[in-house]
């Protein structure tokens, strides 16, 4: 039999295909070489012109830089240089986002984001804060900027700028002190917000009968009828006015605790902290060790900011959680029909400040935009578009828009030696308000809810207040010495988890909007019952997956399902819940059923009665439905539950929807369902959403994990199950030996994809594997870079 000859076209196609493969291979090699070229130099000697004397930077085996300098000036210069080596692109994006300048480099898709941040006026607040700093702090900011700019100049000269700049087609501008302060203001934005809850409550009052709207409040302001009347008399547009995607994550919070030496194996205190923020590549935190003749401190800082904000020195350790106080108020402003930049105040029209905030857009024409600022703060209602003839608009007053001096607090905290010097330093830490826990090697443990917390003339920040009257507004702040404080309690420990930290006897209003209590309850349960604790015990507690939310509601939920499911259609799923140990284990099926149900409950109850954007804007859905269930199961169902048809119907309908969604994704055999198949850890890179190719190279592989948004091992998740929020840093310090401490910075220290520290802590984060970082003693073998002063 003759062999069939290959036709002409297949040969041509093969030739073309082979050529494309060759080009692809060559292209990948070129790209790989280019990306590798931008890796920073982290060992050997480099002669620089920004130092007075030589500085040594030792990166340990986990990529943590240990900087040793002979002066404060060189220490902060080297800190800026080192941060830029590992995180320059992240730093540049952070200052651009907070300043409202992303569209300049990414195009029209970022215009609404830029409008939002220009309205929030973070950079303006940073500029005002800079003017209030003392000369020492300004020097630190200048030194840090000198180091960042030295790296930018060096990378430009050598053609070694981080590859992301090449992808987006721009070069970073010189770093300034205002850039560092603006990033600090962004963290106040991320951790200090409650304006969205005021807007949603205002909408609810104007769209539901008062009794029905009342149930959407955590605590209804019965004592302020004039404020309720004002909200009904002058409605402000809410639906369609705000982008809920730009509101800070609802679960921004943290766990922290400190244990007295009376309850530890060493006889000295133990301290643990794990701030809960977005999980991204690279991490929001950058771990460092800074040493000079004046200080020796280690811990984490936001990339782009000098100093160490959380960590320890040779004598003390400290950590934070978010207090979450009401520090943002909305005012109902009445504009002048003849001049929309004037607003009524005490019977007169008052001219507002109008800032030209024209937005430059890459590849397109500039977008005109103005920010209007009343006596209370910026007008919030006009972010997306202007109203034709608004009868009323919202403005916002916020503590972080005032001049604040957090950097001065950080500088003093880093050098504090005991509770007295540390508490004195905290007096300058105004925004965001944080629960600080503290321990020192003299045995002291302490706590302070710190920050500027407004005292209001009227109301308790549950609703917007009239902006046209001097009868409303702020009249100072809670005195520093009267902020909640605890020192060496008899119970032997102090813990916070964004839970309520004061009772009704406290004379000032902090907030009514505390987080669900389950993380705190579990931490307190373990610390109260245990003894002879070690650092390992603290690490184990940070990874604890016990679900106390289920402990409170599970049996009632099962009862509701059984009450309606007479034919036993969901008997297997119910049995799985009945046999569950109430631990959110990755390999268990019950957590999947439980959490899908709890996520579905507010959708079933509210989504048909609210515009989608209002529903998405509404925070605290968990607390609201919790109270609805508590009331209903105690025999006092509210308006929403009654109108729906009763608690059993509400629970059953939500359960039915949840099971249908699970079956569609994982099949009909409930015994084979696994929480971890749905609940998967991700550390997405900022560029990953632009292309699946970028996502493949820049994101770590997803991992099945346990925990949830209500467990001590915080792992909040999106609708698709992706875990994108949790312990952005884990830290444990044993005060019997502060020469080392235990850390996890997921997914790793470096922002460069070719670095060995890009994603090396991703699995450590999932599995609770900590690394030790030394403060005194020899750094475990890593890379040594000597910066030689010219």
Q: Summarize pLDDT for 187-234 with one digit per residue, the tens.
A: 999 887 789 999 999 999 999 999 999 999 877 666 577 888 888 999
Q: Would you list the DSSP string of 545-585?
A: -B-HHHHHHHHHHHHHHHHH-TT-TTHHHHHHHHH--SB--
How far, in Å, CA of 414 to CA of 291, rounded?
11
Q: Which residue among the candidates 180, 197, 254, 654 is catalytic per the annotation?
A: 254
pLDDT at 722 over 80: yes
**Cβ density class 55-69: b for 16+ within 10 Å, e for less:** bebbbbebbbbbbbb
For 463-483, what is each residue's pLDDT tens digit? 999 999 999 999 999 999 999
Contacts of 282 (CB under 8 A, 6+ apart): 86, 87, 90, 303, 747, 748, 749, 750, 751, 758
Task: Quote the distance between the C-alpha of residue 752 and its chain's center.
Answer: 22
Q: Which two tokens stand for residue 168?
A: 């987006």
Q: What is the mean pLDDT of residues 688-703?
A: 90
Peptide bond into 282 cis (omega under 30): yes
- SS3 letters across 392-415: CEEEEEEHHHCCCCHHHHHHHHHH
Confidence of residue 241 (pLDDT cuts 50, 70, 90): confident
Angstrom distance (rounded) from CA 743 to CA 300: 10
Segment 396-448, tens digit of pLDDT = 999 999 999 999 999 999 999 999 999 999 999 999 999 999 999 999 999 99
Residue 498 pairs in a beta bridge with none
Residue 757 tokens, joined:
């520290």
Contacts of 241 by beta carbon, 8 Å cutoff, 6+ apart: 381, 383, 384
Residue 9 has pLDDT above 60, yes or no: no
- Percent of all residues in the chain with a pLDDT value above 90, rounded to a whole number: 84
Cα separation, 456 vs 198, in Å, equals 15
Contact yes or no for 172/152 (Cβ under 8 A): yes
| Residue 123: predicted pLDDT | 97
Q: What is the per-residue pLDDT across 291-347, written as a single tens digit (0 to 9) for each?
A: 999 999 999 999 999 999 999 999 999 999 999 899 999 999 999 999 999 999 999
Q: 357 by DSSP, 3-state: which? A: coil
Helix (H, G, I), strand (E, B) or coil at 612: helix
Where does 201-248+327-401 sit in CATH, by number? 2.30.120.10
Among 252-256, 257-261, 463-467, 581-585, where is mean pLDDT lowest? 252-256
Phi, psi of 716 (to 5 degrees): -75, 155
Q: What are 684's two structure tokens?
A: 């997405």
Model confidence at 632, pLDDT cuts 50, 70, 90, reads very high
- Indicate if the pLDDT at residue 596 is higher than 80: yes
196 is in an annotated binding site: no
- Residue 24: what are its φ and ψ, rounded to 5°? -65, -45
CA separation for the pair 723, 703 (Å, rounded): 9
pLDDT at 528 over 70: yes
In the chain, the N- to C-terminal Cα span, in Å, equals: 81
Q: Is 362 left (phi over 0), alpha (psi -120 to 50) or beta?
A: beta
C-beta of residue 456 within 8 angstroms of C-beta of residue 223: no
- For strand 722-727 and strand 680-681, is the pairing parallel, antiparallel, or unpaired? parallel
Cβ contact 637:631 at 8 Å: yes
Q: Would the pLDDT of 546 be above 50? A: yes
Answer yes or no: 254 catalytic. Answer: yes
pLDDT band for 386, please (50, 70, 90 cuts): confident
Contact call for residues 755 and 19 (beta carbons, < 8 A): no
pLDDT at 171: 96
Reported as a pLDDT band with limits 50, 70 and 90, residue 251 is: confident
pLDDT band at residue 33, thresholds of 50, 70 and 90? Answer: low
Q: Model-level pTM greater than 0.85?
A: yes
pLDDT at site 435: 95
Looking at every residue in the chain, the average pLDDT score rounds to 93
Q: Tell whether residue 326 is among the known ligand binding residues.
A: yes
Question: 482: how many CB neighbours lie within 10 A of its CB?
Answer: 10
């Amino acid at each position: 039999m003759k062999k069939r000859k290959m036709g002409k076209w297949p040969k041509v196609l093969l030739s073309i295909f082979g050529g494309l493969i060759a080009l692809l291979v060559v292209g990948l090699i070129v790209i790989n070489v280019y990306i590798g070229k931008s890796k920073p130099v982290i060992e050997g000697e480099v002669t620089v012109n920004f130092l007075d004397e030589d500085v040594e930077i030792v990166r340990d085996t986990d990529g943590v830089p240990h900087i040793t300098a002979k002066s404060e000036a060189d220490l902060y210069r080297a800190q800026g240089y080192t941060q830029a080596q590992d995180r320059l692109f992240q730093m540049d994006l952070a200052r651009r986002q907070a300043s409202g300048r992303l569209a300049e480099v990414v195009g029209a898709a970022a215009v609404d984001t830029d409008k939002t941040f220009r309205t929030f006026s973070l950079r303006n607040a940073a500029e005002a804060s800079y003017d209030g700093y003392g000369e020492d702090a300004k020097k630190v900011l200048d030194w840090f900027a000198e180091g960042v700019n030295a790296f930018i100049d060096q990378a430009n000269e050598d053609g070694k700028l981080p590859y992301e700049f090449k992808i987006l087609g721009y070069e970073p501008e010189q770093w300034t002190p205002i850039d560092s302060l603006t990033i600090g203001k962004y963290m106040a934005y991320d951790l200090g917000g409650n304006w969205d809850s005021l807007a949603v409550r205002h909408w609810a009052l104007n769209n539901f009968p008062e009794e029905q709207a009342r149930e959407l409040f955590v605590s209804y302001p019965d004592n302020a009828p004039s404020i309720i009347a004002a909200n009904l008399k002058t409605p402000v547009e809410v639906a369609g006015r705000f982008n809920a995607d730009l509101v800070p994550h609802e679960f921004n919070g943290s766990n922290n605790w400190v244990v007295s030496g009376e309850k530890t194996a060493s006889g000295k205190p133990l301290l643990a902290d794990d701030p809960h923020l977005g999980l991204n590549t690279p991490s929001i935190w950058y771990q460092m060790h800074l040493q000079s003749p004046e200080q020796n401190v280690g811990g984490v800082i936001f990339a782009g900011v000098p100093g160490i904000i959380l960590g320890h020195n040779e004598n003390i350790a400290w950590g934070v959680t978010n207090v979450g106080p009401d520090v943002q108020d909305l005012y109902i402003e009445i504009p002048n029909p003849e001049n929309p930049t004037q607003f009524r105040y005490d019977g007169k029209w008052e001219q507002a400040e109008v800032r030209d905030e024209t937005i430059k857009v890459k590849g397109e024409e500039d977008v005109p935009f103005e920010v209007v600022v009343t006596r209370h703060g910026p007008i919030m209602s006009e972010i997306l578009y202007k109203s034709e003839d608004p009868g009323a608009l919202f403005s916002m007053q916020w503590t972080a828009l005032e001049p604040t001096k957090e950097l001065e607090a950080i500088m003093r905290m880093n050098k504090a030696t005991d509770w007295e010097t540390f508490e004195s330093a905290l007096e300058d830490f105004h925004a965001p308000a944080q629960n600080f826990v503290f321990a020192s090697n003299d045995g002291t443990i302490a706590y302070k809810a710190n920050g500027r917390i407004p005292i209001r003339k009227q109301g308790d920040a549950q609703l917007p207040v009239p902006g046209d009257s001097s009868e409303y507004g702020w009249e100072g702040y809670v005195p520093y010495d009267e902020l909640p404080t605890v020192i060496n309690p008899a119970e032997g420990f102090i813990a916070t988890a964004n839970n309520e930290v004061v009772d009704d006897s406290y004379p000032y209003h902090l907030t009514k909007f505390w987080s669900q209590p389950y993380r705190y309850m579990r931490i307190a349960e373990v610390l109260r019952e245990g003894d002879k604790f070690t650092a390992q015990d603290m690490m184990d507690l940070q990874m604890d997956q016990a679900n106390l939310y289920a402990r409170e509601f599970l049996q009632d939920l099962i009862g509701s399902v059984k009450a309606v499911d007479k034919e036993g259609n969901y008997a297997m799923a119910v049995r799985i819940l009945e046999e569950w140990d109430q631990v959110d284990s990755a390999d268990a099926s019950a957590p999947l059923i439980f959490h899908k149900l709890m996520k579905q409950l507010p959708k079933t109850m509210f989504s048909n009665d609210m515009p989608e954007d209002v529903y998405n804007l509404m925070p605290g859905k968990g607390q609201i439905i919790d109270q609805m269930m508590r009331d209903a199961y105690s025999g006092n169902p509210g308006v929403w539950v009654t109108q729906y048809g009763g608690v059993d119907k509400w629970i059953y309908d939500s359960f039915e929807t949840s099971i249908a969604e699970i079956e569609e994704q994982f099949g009909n055999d409930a015994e084979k369902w696994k929480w971890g198949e749905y609940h998967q850890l991700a550390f997405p890179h900022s560029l990953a959403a632009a292309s699946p190719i970028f996502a493949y190279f820049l994101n770590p592989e997803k991992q099945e994990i346990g925990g949830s948004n209500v467990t001590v091992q915080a792992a909040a998740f999106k609708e698709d199950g992706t875990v994108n929020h949790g312990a952005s840093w884990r830290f444990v310090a044993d005060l019997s030996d502060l020469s080392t401490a235990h850390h996890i910075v997921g997914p790793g220290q470096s922002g460069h994809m070719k670095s060995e520290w890009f994603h090396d802590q991703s699995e450590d984060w999932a599995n609770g594997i900590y690394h030790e970082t030394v403060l005194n003693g020899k750094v475990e073998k890593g890379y040594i870079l000597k910066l030689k002063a010219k």
